[in-house]
């Protein structure tokens, strides 16, 4: 694939920021195929439930299996919605839902490499210096884990 044919990977989670990323990708990379990716961490919902004060015991195998199915389905639906949004804006777009055991940022960077993308577009919530370390930053993680150009899209406050 020549450099002119390489797609653009857009991280999408359904948030206002990720919709802005799709919109910017369509505008900045006209004519390029977009790969709209949603990455989920397996077991994250179960771990969060187990750590909460609501859970008094570990979830059963049935609940864990059902939670994994729901996570997978929701990720596929989110990626599909993002690709549909890109198509509404005039782009050629494919959806991709990916499970990644490490974290979403590593998953996004890995998919950018696997698909030999020319760039990665991500939305940024702009959490600031205090909240970002506490809540994590997918955008910062993508910047650390890829050598590809990264476009960070901020939404107006």
pTM: 0.81
Q: The tokens of 133 are what? A: 């370390």
The tally of domains found in the chain comes to: 1
Higher pLDDT, 88 or 68: 88
pLDDT, the chain, mean: 84
Domain coverage including residue 43: 8-154
CATH code at position 104: 3.40.50.620
Structural domain includes residue 26: yes
What per-residue confidence (pLDDT) applies to 67?
Answer: 65
Q: In angstroms, rounded to a whole number, what is the distance separating the alpha carbons of residues 6 and 153?
A: 20
- Sign of the four-CA dihedral 108, 13, 92, 119: negative
User: Residue 135: its pLDDT value, please?
Assistant: 44
Segment among 9-13, 37-41, 66-70, 84-88 with least mean pLDDT: 66-70
Helices 16-28, 61-88: inter-axial angle, 10-degree rounding: 40
**Distance in angstroms (rounded) separating the CA atoms of residues 151 and 6:** 16
pLDDT band at 48 (very low <50, low <70, confident <90, very high): very low
């Amino acid at each position: 694939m020549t450099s002119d044919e390489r797609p653009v990977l857009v991280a999408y989670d359904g948030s206002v920021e990720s919709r802005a990323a799709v919109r910017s990708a369509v505008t900045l990379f006209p004519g390029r195929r977009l790969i709209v990716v949603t990455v989920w961490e397996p077991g994250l919902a179960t771990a969060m439930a187990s750590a909460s004060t609501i859970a008094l015991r570990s979830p059963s195998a049935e609940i864990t299996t059902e939670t994994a199915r729901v996570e997978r389905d929701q990720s596929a639906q989110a990626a599909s919605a993002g690709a549909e949004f890109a198509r509404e804006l005039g782009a050629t777009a494919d959806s991709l839902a990916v499970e990644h055991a490490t974290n979403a940022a590593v998953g996004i960077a890995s998919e950018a490499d696997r698909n030999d993308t020319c760039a990665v577009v991500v939305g940024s919530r702009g959490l600031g210096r205090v909240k970002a370390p506490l809540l994590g930053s997918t955008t910062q993680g993508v910047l650390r884990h890829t050598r590809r150009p990264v476009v960070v899209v901020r939404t107006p406050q």
